[in-house]
Amino acid sequence: MSAPPSSAPRWMLYGASGYTGRLIAEEALRRGHRPVLAGRSREKLTPLAEQLGLEVAVVGLEDVRGLVATLEGLPLVLHAAGPFVRTSEPMVQACLAAGAHYLDITGEIPVFENTFHHDAEARARGITLMSGVGFDVVPTDCLARYVAERVPGAHELDLAIAATGQASAGTARSALEQLPSGGRVRRGGALQPWPMGKGLRRVRFSDAERTVAPIPWGDLVTAWHTTGIPNITTYMALPRGAAQALRLTYPLLKRMLAVDAVRHTAERLIESRVQGPDAVARSQNRSHLWAEARAADGRRAQAWLDLPEGYAFTAVAAVRAVEEVLAQKPLGAQTPARAFGADFVLSIPGCQRQEVLP
């Protein structure tokens, strides 16, 4: 294909043929970008590239030299190929070698920790490393910073998500990968194990009160770097029966997933049966967030955020993050809210934040 006009931002979208990658590619084109659609399968990439009129780069993640060569002349990679715990590090290494910014849409705790592990290298290379530029963790990270700024010296932070709709195959594979690791919370600045299903509570979201359970979201890492608050718990809204059943069934589920045959069967079922929400669901469903920061002297602040369905949000947020990184070029390992501010989420259409209540 002919090269795009010099005025059109040109960067690499790796994992472009996946469910979320396609949505990001379409959104990027709508916003005037000309990303190079990359991945390991020409067969999967070519139809999308022909539909959108974009370039294709075929390279596997095991080929680091090939990745570096492919990145020549490209300032940035948006990595959308999961499970990220398997795929992120090779691309990070390629970006460090090529001097290209690295962004991804992960929600996996080990990936966030690894990204921050490379902070000094990224600063030395003059590039940005930013994991979690989608539904997890852009909205929660921005809401965490918003409430933290209203309670200087806060020592506790709670974040809760209520999301509707089904997961994509990529999200389901990532969840399957992380499930055996169990629950986590942050206490005294350190990640600590937490029994799955323990700590149920009721949270008032903007539209309804729901039962939530502690779930190990990526915000346990990102909110710590964004706010410095040492005690963080992240929750997800679940039907009360499901939340209670999680505590009872998790030990058995963990043992089952330790068996290779069981895990591989689950992965095949995900690939064959999990499709992700359709266009109608993406346009109609909404997500709801709540955050509270508390200080030892009793000061506290709460805030609420309503936003579009998660995958629709991710497509726009990821491209907006690309735009901000190319414009601002923040150095080193970053979180979205630390780099762009608490109001970054409000630049995504359909996001509404409720003011702090006394």
143-169 burial string, b = 16+ CB within 10 Å, else e? bbbbbbebbeebebbbbbbbbebebbb
- pLDDT in the model for residue 248: 67
The larger pLDDT score, comparing residue 46 to residue 182, is at: 46
- pLDDT in the model for residue 224: 98
Angle at which helix 109-117 crosses helix 219-227, to 10 degrees, equals 40
Structural domains in the chain, CATH included, are 12-133+312-340 (3.40.50.720), 138-310+347-354 (3.30.360.10)
Q: pLDDT class for 243, splitting at 50, 70, 90? A: low
Which of 2-6, 99-103, 198-202, 345-349 bottoms out in mean pLDDT, i.e. has the lowest?
A: 2-6
Q: pLDDT class for 241, splitting at 50, 70, 90? A: confident
- 159-197 pLDDT, tens digit per residue, is 999 987 766 666 766 666 666 777 999 999 999 999 988
Q: pLDDT class for 357, splitting at 50, 70, 90? A: low
- 259-307 pLDDT, tens digit per residue, is 777 676 877 776 777 778 889 999 999 999 999 999 999 999 999 999 9
Structure tokens at 119: 């902070």
- 5-41 pLDDT, tens digit per residue, is 346 789 999 999 999 999 999 999 999 999 999 999 9
- pLDDT in the model for residue 177: 67
- pLDDT in the model for residue 268: 77
Q: What percent of the chain clears pLDDT 70, i.e. is strictly above it?
A: 89
For residues 99 and 331, the answer to whether their CB atoms sit within 8 Å is no
Give Cβ neighbours of residue 191 (< 8 Å, ≥ 6 apart): 109, 184, 185, 220, 221
pLDDT at 137 over 50: yes
3-state secondary structure of 166: coil
Q: Which of 252, 249, 174, 177 is nearest to 213 (CA)?
A: 249
The larger pLDDT score, comparing residue 85 to residue 177, is at: 85
Tokens 């929600």 identify what position? Answer: 107
Q: Which of 293, 292, 289 is nearest to 348 (CA)?
A: 289
- pLDDT in the model for residue 196: 86
For residues 309 and 283, the answer to whether their CB atoms sit within 8 Å is yes
The larger pLDDT score, comparing residue 356 to residue 110, is at: 110
pLDDT at 1 over 50: no
Mean pLDDT of 215-219: 94
Q: What percent of the chain clears pLDDT 90, i.e. is strictly above it?
A: 77
3-state secondary structure of 241: helix
Q: How many CB atoms are located within 10 Å of the residue 47 CB?
A: 10
Which of 84-88, 210-214, 321-325, 352-356 bottoms out in mean pLDDT, i.e. has the lowest?
A: 352-356
pLDDT at 53 over 90: yes
